[in-house]
Amino acid sequence: MMTGKEYIESLRKLKTVVYLFGERVENFVDHPIIRPSINSVALTYDMAQEPEYRELMTAVSNITGERINRFCHIHQSTDDLVSKIKMQRLLGQKTGSCFQRCVGMDAFNAIYSTTYEIDEKYHTQYHERFRKYMEYVQKNDLTVDGAMTDPKGNRKLSPSEQKDPDLYVHIVEKREDGIIVTGAKAHQTGAVNSHEQLIMPTTAMKEKDKAYAVSFAVPSDAEGVLMIYGRQSCDTRKLEETTMDCGNCMYGGQEALVVFDRVFVPWERVFMCEEYDFSGMLVERFAGYHRQSYGGCKVGVGDVLIGAAATAAEYNGVEGASHIKDKLIEMVHLNETLYCCGIACSAQGRETKAGNYQIDTLLANVCKQNVTRFPYEISRLAEDIAGGLMVTMPSEKDFHSPEIGHICRKYFQGDERVDTMDRMRILRLIENMTLGTAAVGYRTESMHGAGSPQAQRIIIGRQGKIAEKKELAKKLAGINGQSD
């Protein structure tokens, strides 16, 4: 397994094409806006090296028999599913942000079981191909971006009905040695920081859409792959010669548009090719895993935000106020409810035909539905406790100014036992987590990451067993189904 330093050095060997603010970034590893997100991923490597986190951060591979980073693991039990959630909460606590490897882990497990069932029906060799690919990933301890979401264009139209066919990734040519694909994947978490891009279809499809039913893997620096880094609120603060105004200068998340312009994929890296009847299965399984993930990572980040709010209350001198205590209790209640959902859908998991473990899909969607709401309320309460100074305070340079620094320190003092600058630092952290760059990995992502709220409600409605519940009620009410 790699260390964080070795991971960072491995990125330097890639020739990934990255654009930011309209310009090509030649050295994305050391770019001040991008580097915090790289640091988050590096921590997933370093913590796997620490003895106290060994059981959470690592697992024994069912493919190689060797101990590997859990982010490269194919879940072998409900204990694995639970450990995944605990690991994600821990990393959320350590980074206060998104650590970006979850989408790859969730894609691994969804494709692993889906390829097995495609082979079962069509006698293809996708599953064995994917096992060999996973062996390569595990032995090299790679970070892989699991990419599902297409730009989608006009949502009323299916992929094949779009005026521009490239709004969904699709096969444009099949050759003896592989396929050629074109299109793009949007909102891709950690794409720039990944060694590989693992592509999946984004929706259930019909026969007319079969060219869009494709799953494959390519290196991030493959010819024809281009990435455009996503803009985040307050991101240019990282370009300033200050640390306080960033809130969280060490860690961060990232999103990117990943474009495929006639990219060649050899057959050994193709895991679905026009099997449109399995696209829905792959989408639903990946979505289930990723909605489970939010019961871990968002809870860990929530722990940090709760701690920041409690600290702000103390620095403001109001930690003993009853309404402050009540708000903190409510934040903890909401956060732990999310964790309960993540643990529950994991503990109720089941074995797939391929042998890996799938979460309880209904409970995973309930988990994510709660995530679309609770972090917003936790953020609101944090902002309430912090006070308006969180978004009106002067810059760090003002506090260090020879002319006005003493004025800032005098008038923004809270509890006299606390240094004014420490009070400002905790408020900037809250601002960062609720409004700034970290909001990408917490508040805003909680709404649309792993699918919109309506996507979860569709699954909940489909799997809610309303008909069975009606029968339970009728039996107790003495209704036998026959009219008098």
Question: Which tokens belong to 229?
Answer: 């880094």
Q: Cα(42)–Cα(1) distance, rounded to whole angstroms?
A: 12
Query: Which residues, 6 or more positions from 207, have their beta carbon under 8 angstroms from its beta carbon?
Result: 276
Q: Cα(179)–Cα(166) distance, rounded to whole angstroms?
A: 16
Label the pairing between strands 23-24 and 18-20. Answer: antiparallel
Q: Contact at 8 Å (CB) between 366 and 293?
A: no
Which positions are annotated as active-site residues?
Answer: 98, 102, 189, 255, 290, 294, 297, 445
Q: Contact at 8 Å (CB) between 36 and 251?
A: yes
Query: Which residues, 6 or more positions from 344, have their beta carbon under 8 angstroms from its beta carbon?
Result: 360, 363, 367
The dihedral built from the CA positions of residue 228, 102, 360 and 270, taken in this order, carries a sign that is positive
The terminus-to-terminus CA distance of the chain in angstroms comes to 71
CB atoms within 10 A of CB 90: 18
Q: Cα(298)–Cα(318) distance, rounded to whole angstroms?
A: 27
Q: Contact at 8 Å (CB) between 190 and 37?
A: yes
Q: Cα(16)–Cα(9) distance, rounded to whole angstroms?
A: 14
Q: Report residue 215 CA to chain centroid gap.
A: 19
Q: Cα(71)–Cα(109) distance, rounded to whole angstroms?
A: 11
Sequence letter at residue 84? K
Sequence letter at residue 136? Y
Between vectors from CA 193 to CA 191 and to CA 199, what angle results, nearest 5°? Answer: 30
Q: Cα(192)–Cα(188) distance, rounded to whole angstroms?
A: 9
Sequence letter at residue 476? L
Q: Cα(229)–Cα(226) distance, rounded to whole angstroms?
A: 10
Query: Which residues, 6 or more positions from 176, have their beta carbon under 8 angstroms from its beta carbon?
Result: none
Compute, in degrees rounded to 10, the torsion defined by CA atoms 18, 24, 27, 32: -90
Q: Cα(325)–Cα(322) distance, rounded to whole angstroms?
A: 5
